Amino acid sequence: MPNPEALAALTSLLGERLSTSKSDLDLHGRSETHFPPTPPQAVAYPETTGEVQALARICAASGLPMVGWGAGTSLEGHGLAVQGGVVVDFSRMNKVLALRPADMDVTVQPGVTREALNEELRATGLFFPVDPGANASLGGMAMTRASGTTAVRYGTMRDNVLGLEVVLADGRIIRTGTRARKSSAGYDLTGLMVGSEGTLGLVTELTLRLSGLPEATSAGICAFGDVDAAVNAVIETIQMGIPVARIEFACARTAEAFNAYAGLDLPAAPHLMLEFHGSSDSVAQDAARFGEIAADHGGGAFRWSAREEERRALWALRHNGYYAILASRPGTTALVTDICVPISQLAAAVNETAADIADSPVSGPILGHVGDGNFHAILLVDPARPAELEAAQALAHRMVERALRLGGTSTGEHGVGLGKLPYMEAEHGPAWQVMGALKRTLDPQNLMNPGKLVPAM
């Protein structure tokens, strides 16, 4: 596995930016979640597309795997070099290359994080809306087809990447897409690359669609008698065409965790948290219309506000949901699930999951992006009790089976990585072999993030 000539050639190329220090290897061999550490042979810090191309050529010539690395915030072990090789850390490719306000687009290097981009956009009246919570890199977000709370309004990375520059496994550089808002000129290679998790190439540049900052925003929270009532209110809201910018679900256990974490007094009941973007008139109207729908479904009062500090407090609560839930059982770690189902099946999926968790030895509050039918159970596991991890894994397994049975997907937004690989055949059937064939076409030596996403080569 060690390949001294290739590493020497990479050192010639990158100098000190090819690291084999133990701390660097350890740092890039860890994931955010429960996967075992897997240090790579080296970590490369390229600064230009040309360097990435030269790196790919060296790796291709000596059969060395290449694994892209953004901010390291993946939840499914995407960045782990499970077959060895070089982790390509894009943190030095963090420039905003071109900002075009009239076109509402921007070209960035892959290491720019979403928060850094939005900071850069502050004076323009524009923002990049995809918000997975973590301050992920935009390259990483593209590669996992990330989304989050705002996807119900602004779409996922699939909808917000206009074009890419990609270094292929053999060192070829391709550009996909144009800056036109739409095109019918051939296969959608941008769409093929988004969500490919670094298995088809290394992204060196992204052109992203931006959105106008809303003139006004309102946000609020509302309790419901049960999960079905909350979900039916969501369905009706979306069918009525009320343009929610966010519509998030939190189960009764999550509400209790919020209370303990933030000193609140929410009822121990399922909640919806909403946000509306528009003019000051329209966000007030939208909130009022939602309030009527909530009342029709037996919801409590819809407490909403257009005041910035109240809105921020609400979403801080939501974004801290993971930590609030972790704090609800000190000393535990979490196994985070990520199923997504057709919205008509959402109440069934949540109720069955909650009942399954209640019958198990672990606790698992549920929250999610219900406008899309996507939710997460945060399964809390005491690391000292292996039986709990086993029980959590069995619960997660049954959640995926449930999602597929209900017409959904094993992963709404976290990606395949290592955690969802065992479910690809069940989810895609013969189409999974087609994915493998496409991978072999673009990466016949299996050097781009090998061991992920496609059937074993």
Among residue numbers 174 through 193, which ones bind a copy of itself (CB under 8 A)? 174-176, 178-189, 191-192
Per-residue binder mask for a copy of itself (CB under 8 A), 49-88, x = binder: ----------------------------------------
- Tell which residue, 379, 385, 351, 375, has the closest CA to residue 365: 379
Using CB under 8 A as the binding criterion, the count of chain residues that bind a copy of itself stands at 98
- Tell which residue, 153, 452, 439, has the closest CA to residue 275: 153
Tokens of 185: 């000129």
- Give 417's Cβ-side CA count (13 Å radius): 27
Site for a copy of itself in 17-46 (CB under 8 A): none
| Displacement of CA 134 from its chain's centroid (Å) | 9
If binding is defined by CB under 8 A, does position 435 make contact with a copy of itself?
yes
Dist CA 41 CA 315 (whole Å): 40
Per-residue binder mask for a copy of itself (CB under 8 A), 247-286, x = binder: ------------------------------xxx-xx--x-
* Options 52-60, 206-214, 322-330, 379-387: segment touching a copy of itself (CB under 8 A): 206-214
Q: By three-state DSSP, how is residue 210 classified?
A: coil
Site for a copy of itself in 125-164 (CB under 8 A): 125-126, 144-147, 151, 155-156, 158-159
If binding is defined by CB under 8 A, does position 235 make contact with a copy of itself?
yes
Return the ∠ at Cα 118 (arms to 107 and 413), rounded to 5°: 80
In the complex with a copy of itself, the residue whose CB is nearer, 135 or 279, is 279
Using CB under 8 A, which of 20, 33, 82, 103 touches a copy of itself? 103
Using CB under 8 A, which of 149, 254, 409, 449 touches a copy of itself? 409
In the complex with a copy of itself, the residue whose CB is nearer, 410 or 446, is 410
* Options 252-260, 326-334, 390-398, 440-448: segment touching a copy of itself (CB under 8 A): 440-448
Return the ∠ at Cα 434 (arms to 183 and 417), rounded to 5°: 90
Q: By three-state DSSP, how is residue 61 classified?
A: helix
If binding is defined by CB under 8 A, does position 431 make contact with a copy of itself?
yes
**Cβ-contact 192, 179 below 8 angstroms:** no
Q: Which residues, in sequence order, are CB contacts of 223 under 8 Å at separation 6+?
A: 255, 266, 267, 269, 270, 271, 299, 300
Least distance in angstroms from the C-beta of 433 to a copy of itself: 8
- Tell which residue, 260, 272, 291, has the closest CA to residue 227: 272
If binding is defined by CB under 8 A, does position 243 make contact with a copy of itself?
yes
Site for a copy of itself in 339-368 (CB under 8 A): 340-344
- The total of other beta-carbon atoms located within 10 Å of residue 257's CB is 27
Dist CA 74 CA 78 (whole Å): 6
Using CB under 8 A, which of 262, 268, 327, 437 touches a copy of itself? 437
Least distance in angstroms from the C-beta of 257 to a copy of itself: 26
* Options 32-40, 62-70, 311-319, 407-415: segment touching a copy of itself (CB under 8 A): 407-415
If binding is defined by CB under 8 A, does position 411 make contact with a copy of itself?
yes
- The total of other beta-carbon atoms located within 10 Å of residue 214's CB is 18
Dist CA 6 CA 167 (whole Å): 18
Write down the residue that tokens 């399922």 correspond to: 270
If binding is defined by CB under 8 A, does position 12 make contact with a copy of itself?
no
Least distance in angstroms from the C-beta of 89 to a copy of itself: 22
